[in-house]
Each structure stands twice: as C-alpha cells, then as structure tokens.
Amino acid sequence: MSAPYDAVDVISIKRDGGVLGDAQIDWVVDAYTRGVVADEQMAALAMAIVLNGMVPAEVAHWTAAMIASGEQMSFAELSRPTADKHSTGGVGDKITLPLAPLVAACGVAVPQLSGRGLGHTGGTLDKLESIAGWRASLTNAELMAQLEDVGAVICAAGAGLAPADKKLYALRDVTGTVESIPLIASSIMSKKIAEGTRALVLDVKVGSGAFMKDVDSARELAETMVALGTDAGVHTVALLTDMSTPLGRTAGNALEVREAVEVLAGGGPADVVELTLALAREMLAGAGVHGVDPAERLADGSAMDVWRAMITAQGGDPDASLPIARETQSVVADSEGVLTRLDALSVGVAAWRLGAGRARQGDPVQAGAGVELHAKQGEAVRAGQPLLTMHTDEPERFDRALTALDGGWSVEPGGAVDQQSPVVIQRIT
Ligand code: URA
C-alpha cells in the first residue's frame, strides 16, 4: 500500500506558512519514528516549524502523536497521589534533588523521569551518578515498587516513553531547531503526559542561562504547556523563575549534590530553599494534599530520610564521600563593591568547559568538575576576595573556562546590595 502522504508535500505546507491537518501530523510523526520519513526530511520540517510556528490545534495534535508513538504509564494503582515537576533547564538547577524527597515526605509520590545534560545546562542523572553505586535505569516494575515503598524516584525515562520525541530531540539538537515554542512545548509535554502523573508543575526558566531569554517568550512557552497539560487532564501549573544568575552557589555534578544535601539538612542557599518550597507547595496543591507544610518536613529531617531511602533503593550509598576534582583555581574580585551581575550563561559555559557537561550525547562527564560561587549577585565583596572557584580534573581546561567567565560579572563601587530579588517571577495557570 502506498503512503497516504508525501513527506515533501507536508514539508511544503509548513514552509509556505500553512496549517497541517491532524491526519498529516499523525502520519509524519509515525512515519518518522518508523524510519520511513528520513532525518533530512524531518529536519526540514522542524526548521519550517521554527520559522513559521504552529497554531494551538497543531501543537496539541503534534503532542498527541508523539504520545501515541510509545507507551503510556499509569500510577492509578498507587496508594498515594502523584505529582511531578519539570524544569526547562538552567545553571545550578539542582532543585529536583531536594524537591522529590521533600514532596514524598509530605505524602505525594514523585515519579521524576529525568535526562542527562547537554550543553551548558546540567542533567539531573549526571548529578546523581556522582554518588557511588547509584543507578539511573530502573524497570517499570522497579519504578512502581520504589514509588510505593519510598515515595520518590528519580530515574532515566525508559525508551518506551514518547520514542518519537527521543528521535526528534536528538535531530533538533544537531540541526539548530531546538528554539521553537511549539517544538519545545510538545517535546516536554508528550513525555510528561505519557508518564501519567496526576499533577505537574513546570519551572520555566527566564534569563541568560535559559532557553527563553525574555519574560514574554517564557510566558508564551508556559501558557502553551499549561494548556496542553490541562487539556490532557493533568493538573498543570507553571512558575516563571529567574535564570539570569545561577541558582545557589554551585554548578557541576557532585558540587550540586553536596548543596542539595545541605538543603535537605535544613541549610543551603536561600534561593534554592525558596524555589524548592515554592515548587513543593504547587505540587502538593496539584495533587490535592493540603495542610502539610513542606518547610516543616525539611526542618524535621523527614525529607532527608526519604532522600537516603531513595538513594539506597537505587544502589547508591548516601554516606559515601562525593568525588572532588583534582585541581582548583579561584577568580578574585579586583576591587571592593557589590557584585551587581553574575551571569548564569557565563558560569554555565565555564562549568561545562571544566568538564561538568558534555558536547555530544554519550560523552562522559567529570563528577567533580564545576564552579563554586563564593559571592552571589547582590552581595558585597572586598578587593582580593575569591568570587568563585573552578574545579576540574584537567587543568588545561582552566583557560577556556576563564574565557567563558570574561565579562560575566561586574563589581560596582556604589552598587546597591540586593540579596532579596525574588526567584519566582510569575505563576501561570
Ligand atoms: N527539553 C525537552 O525535553 N525538549 C525540548 O525541546 C527542550 C527541552
């Protein structure tokens, strides 16, 4: 039987600014997943979508077609409600690590199917793999059992979940077609809807270290994703959060795990604690759990108990010392004043070049590499004070990391001390 559509016709419709019909979308997504539509054809279609966009009905159907390309999970059998969080990715964004056990300690199961880092934003699995013995891959049966017993799981998304997106995302990554609101929204939401969570909180980052550099485009992405989730019956809320400067005081795998454990122990940087609690409250509300204060579960150690159980259940040793990079080099302030700007993208690229991230899928990462910040944006600094320390196993990486940091921070003599800039910019429902 001949194919119902021709790939070139579908590409041409989008190239000329037209709207794809449901059947055309179903066909092209399915045919691409099966290898009938070639990579170069899908790359051309993705570029046409980047340039000409999609109407809401197309985004909704494209998302549905990607969900239909694989399995759909269900957590309906669990004894407690589920809630999940997705971040669009940022520098120093270790929030998933304290958040998942915290929300579980409040009575909501958290199935956090995560990815690895690519480019300057870190990946949750890379961070956790710096813990000795911890393993990212679980079978669906193991995932369910851990959710019931421990309440929180952070693991790799299985190959069966939205395989069309796996293939398409890898293609977009190498064809300059990531930056498109319809493609990003459908990519994220196809995985989250297929996963079967009851409630979803989206942390949509805004600023230099994020995909979305300005609030208007972040809001449009958030609104598109909230509409997709809501239409699919998932209670979905988005928070627009600041990513113009790194979150917390660390960017890099083991460095970030250390900071996450500090938060679970009741300490940690104020911005990380603030965002963790804001997202936890949204997840609990979305799952229908009221009257539990997540701040109390951080303070009384119950979130830490779940963290230890979660790491242990996946083969990790929560008491093992974390890897430390062999070499360090600090950058000092050359004058006294206020650190008025510390740019997220500069720090993210520096951490990446030090070995914390990968340039190509499958590359190894260094567990100990990254950047440790001694001053945060808005803090007063003295001349000669270390502003940050770079960590790596390979000292030849320092120069390129320093180049990334060049121009990424400013100390101003009369600058205003401002430690209170809010992390959460806007809530979208
Ligand atoms: N994360 C995803 O999963 N997909 C995108 O397209 C962008 C970020």
> Over 90: is that where the pLDDT of 92 sits?
yes
List the structure tokens of 234. Answer: 């998932």
CA-nearest of 183, 184, 225, 182 to 201 is 225
Residue 359: predicted pLDDT: 75
Whose alpha carbon is nearest atom 3 of ligand 1?
188
List the structure tokens of 282. Answer: 């949204």
Q: What is the pLDDT of residues 26-82, one digit of tens each?
A: 999 999 999 999 999 999 999 999 999 999 999 999 999 999 999 999 999 999 999
Residue 371: predicted pLDDT: 98
- Three-class DSSP category at 305: helix
Cα-based distances in Å from 158 to 67, 113, 372: 14, 8, 33
Domain boundaries, the chain: 7-53, 84-313, 327-412
For the CA of 115, the nearest atom of ligand 1: 3
Is the CB–ligand 1 distance for residue 307 below 6 Å? no
What's the 40 CA to ligand 1 centre distance in angstroms?
20
To the question of domain 84-313 being in CATH 3.40.1030.10, the answer is yes
> Over 90: is that where the pLDDT of 2 sits?
no
Q: Residue 102 class from Cβ within 10 Å (0-12 exposed, 13-18 middle, 19+ buried)?
A: buried
What are the catalytic residues?
86, 165, 172, 187, 191
Q: Long-range contacts: 263-266, Cβ < 8 Å, 24+?
A: 263/98, 263/298, 264/98, 264/101, 264/102, 264/298, 264/303, 264/304, 264/307, 265/304, 266/298, 266/299, 266/301
DSSP state of 396: G
Is the CB–ligand 1 distance for residue 188 below 6 Å? yes
CA-nearest of 321, 318, 317, 274 to 298 is 274
Residue 372: predicted pLDDT: 98
Q: Which CATH code is given to the segment(s) 327-412? A: 3.90.1170.30
* Mean predicted confidence (pLDDT) in 313-339: 97
Residue 3: predicted pLDDT: 74
Q: Do the Cβ atoms of 89 and 205 come closer than 8 Å?
A: yes
List the structure tokens of 296. Answer: 């109390």
Equal fold, 84-313 vs 327-412: no
Residue 118: predicted pLDDT: 63
> Over 70: is that where the pLDDT of 13 sits?
yes
Q: What is the pLDDT of residues 191-233, one digit of tens each?
A: 999 999 999 999 999 999 998 999 999 999 999 999 999 999 9
Whose alpha carbon is nearest atom 2 of ligand 1?
188
Taking the C-alpha atoms of residue 15 and residue 19, their distance in angstroms, rounded to an integer, is 10
Contacts for 170 with CB less than 8 Å, ≥ 6 apart: 361
User: Which of 41 and 422 is assigned the larger pLDDT?
Assistant: 41
Is the CB–ligand 1 distance for residue 169 below 6 Å? yes
> Among 115-119, 289-293, 306-310, 372-376, which stretch is predicted with the lowest mean pLDDT?
115-119
CA-nearest of 388, 392, 390 to 377 is 388
Helix, strand, coil in percent for the chain, rounding step 5: 45, 15, 40
Taking the C-alpha atoms of residue 366 and residue 126, their distance in angstroms, rounded to an integer, is 9
Give how far the C-alpha of residue 324 lies from the chain's centroid of Cα atoms, to the nearest Å: 24
Q: Which residues are bridge partners to 427 per DSSP? A: 239
Edge-to-edge, what's the strand order for the sheet holding 386-392?
250-251, 370-373, 386-392, 327-332
Is the CB–ligand 1 distance for residue 409 below 6 Å? no
Is-above-0.85 flag for pTM?
yes
Taking the C-alpha atoms of residue 363 and residue 341, their distance in angstroms, rounded to an integer, is 32
Q: What is the pLDDT of residues 353-371, one digit of tens each?
A: 999 998 777 788 999 999 9
Q: What is the pLDDT of residues 245-285, one digit of tens each?
A: 999 999 999 999 999 999 999 999 999 999 999 999 999 99
